[in-house]
């Protein structure tokens, strides 16, 4: 997959099938869009493109702090084998002032040379969000593209959206989050050096700090899987601040892997959070903590053994 930062950096070498939006989380609703551009790209032998609006530029300028389900790097990795091209489009003040027809002419037609435009029913664009699917359809013949509008995906009476998934994630319901996304929720990051207390206690762990903007489930112990050097390992993880042994407030994901014995410091790993086990707690002493963690590990091993049967 080709990764491009900024619309001005994209150079068209033919027509394309393009979908546009924020694409925070790449949930099942987004997958319908990306699958469609992928299919049109394949059948017409044209480029399949995801154009993702990067709202962080505008949010930072306005002093708005927003949590995201997926960082830009995570989105890039997730789409790697899915489409031909991912274009990260910084949503600047200037870009937000672009009139709707100007957006169709300059972005959809001139930049992407779109043969197919694939969007959801609520797609809005242009200054003041004046553009919608009706306007896209009205200009389709003039700018020589076919509009494909995809209905919203629903679960349990709710439209699947990033906002709804964040709500479920904050409740710690990881299996339902997985169902809404179509894959386990997780994060990627670099393994840090810690105090090596886990190693001294007999369960060495990986410390990974989530990205500042990454939305996380409640602090606590989770069943998880971690990919190291392309290989997946089962284990358990604690999300939190380790109140028994630390006074720091810095959030970390601390994973113990059942069958890993290598040195992962400085390596980028992928973590999947599968099930919430219990809340993070402060123990009376390290020995009490060690006993509880041993129980967590035993439960985790049993869970994955049963899942493998």
Please give the pLDDT value at position 193.
80
Please give the pLDDT value at position 209.
95
φ, ψ for residue 24, nearest 5 deg: -90, 110
Instruction: Give 3-state DSSP helix, strand, coil % of the chain, rounded to 5.
Output: 35, 30, 35
For 249, the enclosing helix (H) or strand (E) is none
Please give the pLDDT value at position 307.
84
Q: Which residues contact 62 (CB under 8 A, 6 or more apart)?
A: none
φ, ψ for residue 23, nearest 5 deg: 55, 50
Please give the pLDDT value at position 289.
86
Can you tell me the distance from the alpha carbon of 176 to that of 54, in angstroms, rounded to the nearest whole number? 27
Please give the pLDDT value at position 61.
74
The per-residue pLDDT string of the chain (309 residues; one tens digit each, 9 = 90 and over) reads 999 999 999 999 999 999 999 998 899 999 999 999 999 999 999 999 999 999 887 777 777 778 999 999 999 999 999 999 999 999 988 999 999 999 999 999 999 999 999 999 999 999 999 999 999 999 999 999 999 999 999 999 999 999 999 999 999 999 999 999 999 999 999 999 866 655 555 567 889 999 999 999 999 999 999 999 999 999 999 999 865 556 567 899 999 999 898 888 899 999 999 999 999 988 878 888 889 999 999 999 999 998 877
Report whether 164 contacts 217 (CB < 8 A).
Answer: no
Report whether 68 contacts 215 (CB < 8 A).
Answer: yes
Q: Which residues contact 28 (CB under 8 A, 6 or more apart)?
A: 153, 155, 160, 180, 181, 182
Please give the pLDDT value at position 47.
98
Give pLDDT tens digits for 117-151: 999 999 999 999 999 999 999 999 999 999 999 99
Please give the pLDDT value at position 140.
98
Report whether 205 contacts 254 (CB < 8 A).
Answer: yes
> How many other C-beta atoms can be found within 10 angstroms of the C-beta atom of residue 213?
15
What token pair was written down for 273?
Answer: 């959070």
- Helices and strands of the chain, counted as H and E runs: 10, 14
Give pLDDT tens digits for 189-225: 999 986 665 555 556 788 999 999 999 999 999 999 9
Q: Is 229 helix (H, G, I), strand (E, B) or coil?
A: coil
């Amino acid at each position: 997959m080709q990764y491009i930062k900024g619309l001005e950096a994209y150079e068209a070498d033919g027509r394309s099938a393009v979908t546009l939006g924020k694409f925070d989380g790449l949930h099942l609703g987004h997958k319908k869009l990306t699958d469609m551009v992928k299919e049109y790209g394949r059948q017409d032998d044209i480029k399949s493109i995801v154009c993702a609006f990067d709202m962080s530029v505008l949010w930072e300028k306005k002093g708005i702090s927003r949590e995201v389900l997926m960082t830009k790097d995570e989105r890039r990795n997730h789409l790697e084998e899915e489409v031909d091209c991912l274009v990260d489009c910084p949503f600047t003040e200037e870009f937000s002032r672009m009139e709707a027809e100007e957006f169709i002419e300059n972005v959809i037609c001139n930049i992407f040379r779109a043969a197919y435009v694939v969007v959801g029913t609520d797609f809005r664009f242009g200054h003041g969000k004046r553009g919608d699917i009706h306007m896209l359809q009205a200009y389709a013949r003039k700018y020589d593209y076919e509009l494909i509008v995809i209905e919203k995906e629903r679960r349990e009476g709710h439209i699947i959206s990033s906002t709804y998934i964040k709500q479920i994630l904050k409740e710690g319901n990881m299996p339902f989050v997985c169902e809404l996304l179509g894959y386990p929720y997780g994060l990627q990051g670099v393994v840090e050096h810690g105090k090596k207390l886990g190693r001294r206690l007999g369960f060495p762990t990986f410390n990974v700090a989530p990205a500042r903007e990454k939305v996380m489930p409640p602090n606590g112990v989770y069943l998880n899987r971690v990919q190291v050097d392309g290989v997946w390992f089962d284990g358990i993880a604690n999300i939190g601040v380790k109140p028994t042994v630390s006074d720091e407030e810095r959030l970390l994901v601390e994973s113990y892997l059942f069958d890993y014995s290598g040195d992962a410091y400085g390596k980028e790993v992928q973590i999947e959070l599968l099930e919430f086990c219990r809340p993070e707690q402060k123990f009376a002493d390290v020995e009490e903590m060690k006993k509880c963690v041993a129980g967590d590990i035993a439960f985790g091993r049993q869970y994955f053994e049963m899942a493998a049967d």
